[in-house]
Amino acid sequence: MTKRIDFQTDPSRYRHWRVDYDGAIANLYMDVDENGGLFDGYQLKLNSYDLGVDIELADVVQRMRFEHPEVKVVVMRSGKDKVFCAGANIRMLGGATHAHKVNFCKFTNETRNTFEAAERDSGQKYIAAVKGACAGGGYELALACNHIMLTDDSSTTVALPEVPLLAVLPGTGGLTRVTDKRKVRRDLADVFCSLEEGVKGKRAKDWRLVDEVIANSKFDATVAERAQEFAAASDKPAGTGIALTPLQKTIGEDGSIQYSLVEVAVDRAARKVTVTLNGPDQPVPASLDALHGQGDQGWMLRLAREFDDAILELRLNEMDLGLMVFRTQGDPAAVLAHEAFLLDNSGDWLAREILQYWKRVLKRVDVTSRSLVALVESGSCYAGFLAELLWASDRSYMMDGEFEGDNRPVATVTLSAGNFGPFPMGNDLTRLQTRFLAEPEAVEVLKGRIGTPMQADEAMEAGLVTYAYDDIDWDDEIRIFMEERASFSPDAMTGMEANLRFAGPETMETRIFGRLTAWQNWIFNRPNATGKDGALQRYGTGVRGDYNMQRV
């Protein structure tokens, strides 16, 4: 699978999803084109999916937030008879590289987390209206919805058959949501996850696997009634959406990418990619009408969309570039002014959605399996939400004082109110709270520094950067660090970084990504699942996998 994957799409290009909008209610139909796989060699039968199907779903969910703020309830349905969704396509998984499988699972997790959080973040409640077989990743789609309705007939079941059939785990949070969200009793969860045929009817509700079971003859009417009830109970303000237009980007022959505000520079010899985020290229909107009038071209929204796309491009298309370097360039005061405008107007739906989008983008950075380093250079604009990249990174290096021949402003770091709540990590703490887990009082002290630019000595004393170097040592120290980092085993780095990034309390979200990084990553490498006689290769042949029965 060497085809370059493009994460940008729009409704005119959908092959697998369609949406019917009816005021406050949207009906979202999964109707997968079995011949529309992202790669050759498999058909997407029975509403099974690959990454291409999920790229479209992610686009649907994003547009629901920005283009259709009037929507209060989204009903997820199947467009096919007798099957809701058969889950991730087994032939695709069997033929995919290890890296593609794991990154596919990570992206689908992020997409499900996004629509799962839509009720809390945006007042959009997702209902899963399940008719027909709902298995594996299909049930995981339903699990991420806020309410699951199941028709009571002879063929409709929910199932997580990955363990008995495929020798892998439900890869998009299935086990975690069963226990942590649905709160299914442990022994019953054990039975459920061992049943190839799944569970249906009253038993599914009694075990907490679904919220409602409805007679087949009344199902459609009850789903419509429930959607209307949820919409009527919502206090979500209506609004007029903005269009999300295609991103303007140019991909060079060497893999470099140029957007309007983001630059991606590739250094293959050093196994390094440098991502530069540029500060505001326009003034702060004069009013909320002006913000809405900008559409998707306002600086903070445009930067979020471009940065988000760049991270995804690098994750799936440039897996050998293990070191990701963040740079910023621009006016810190302008960054703070744009952020403050949105924070001060967070009651407005669009201002809120832009802030929520930045929360999701920064979370995507947190779980990206690359060594992340931030460089705070002369002329940089690590202020407010952009300063979050310093604490999302594994290390940060800051220029100390003026550098000979460099007429850009001296490097600074500036905190804002945005660093103390609006952009939490998956552990439900801010990045500063996570950073200073042993010193919570340090976070309170830092609130007194809001709005004050800190040069290297102050930033070091405050614990906001890892190292600071003057112009004598900067080039050598950065070079030595980067050469060393790029020489380490990428497997060891992924494990170390994933363990160190999420200090503090466990949440459902950290468990989902932690289990993906550790357990699924390991299982996908094991011959019991992916070997030539493993379950993924033998699925559909009538012959079960030939397992090495040692417990490890």
pLDDT at 527 over 70: yes
Over residues 283-312, the mean pLDDT reads 98
pLDDT in tens, 326-371: 999 999 999 999 999 999 999 999 999 999 999 999 999 999 999 9
Which domains, ranges and CATH numbers included, belong to the chain? 11-233 (3.90.226.10), 254-496 (3.90.226.10)
User: Measuring CA to CA, how many Å separate 190 from each of 170, 179, 350, 549?
Assistant: 13, 10, 43, 20
- As a whole-number percent, the residues of the chain with pLDDT over 90 amount to 92
Q: Which amino acid is at 364?
A: R
Provide the b/e sequence for 291-305 (b: ≥16 CB within 10 Å): bbebbbebbbbbbbb
pLDDT in tens, 18-55: 999 999 999 999 999 999 999 999 999 999 999 999 99
pLDDT in tens, 390-423: 999 999 999 999 999 999 999 999 999 999 999 9
Residue 345, both tokens: 């107007």
Residue 411, both tokens: 């490097």
**Farthest CA pair distance, the chain:** 79
Instruction: Tell me what pLDDT residue 476 has.
Output: 97
Instruction: Tell me what pLDDT residue 427 has.
Output: 96
pLDDT in tens, 72-111: 999 999 999 999 999 999 999 999 999 999 999 999 999 9
Q: How far apart are CA 236 and CA 124, in angstroms?
A: 8
Residues 6 or more apart whose Cβ sits within 8 Å of residue 441: none
Instruction: Tell me what pLDDT residue 2 has.
Output: 65
How would you class 378 by CB atoms within 10 Å of its CB: exposed for 0-12, middle for 13-18, buried for 19 or more? middle
The terminus-to-terminus CA distance of the chain in angstroms comes to 30
Beta-ladder partners of 527: none
Over residues 139-147, the mean pLDDT reads 98
pLDDT at 212 over 80: yes
Helix (H), strand (E) at residue 128: strand 125-130
Provide the b/e sequence for 127-162 (b: ≥16 CB within 10 Å): bbbbbbbbbbbbbbbbbbbbbbbbbbbeebbbbbbb
Q: How far apart are CA 404 and CA 472, in angstroms?
A: 9
Q: Indicate yes or no: pTM above 0.85.
A: yes
Whole-number average pLDDT of the chain? 96
pLDDT at 71 over 90: yes
pLDDT at 491 over 80: yes
Instruction: Tell me what pLDDT residue 18 has.
Output: 97
Instruction: Tell me what pLDDT residue 264 has.
Output: 98
* Secondary structure of residue 129 in the 3-state scheme: strand
Instruction: Tell me what pLDDT residue 117 has.
Output: 96
pLDDT at 1 over 80: no
pLDDT in tens, 175-190: 999 999 999 999 999 9
Q: How far apart are CA 160 and CA 457, in angstroms?
A: 54
DSSP letter string over 457-524?
Answer: HHHHHTT-SSEEE-TTTHHHHHHHHHHHHHHS-HHHHHHHHHHHH--S---HHHHHHHHIIIIIHHHH
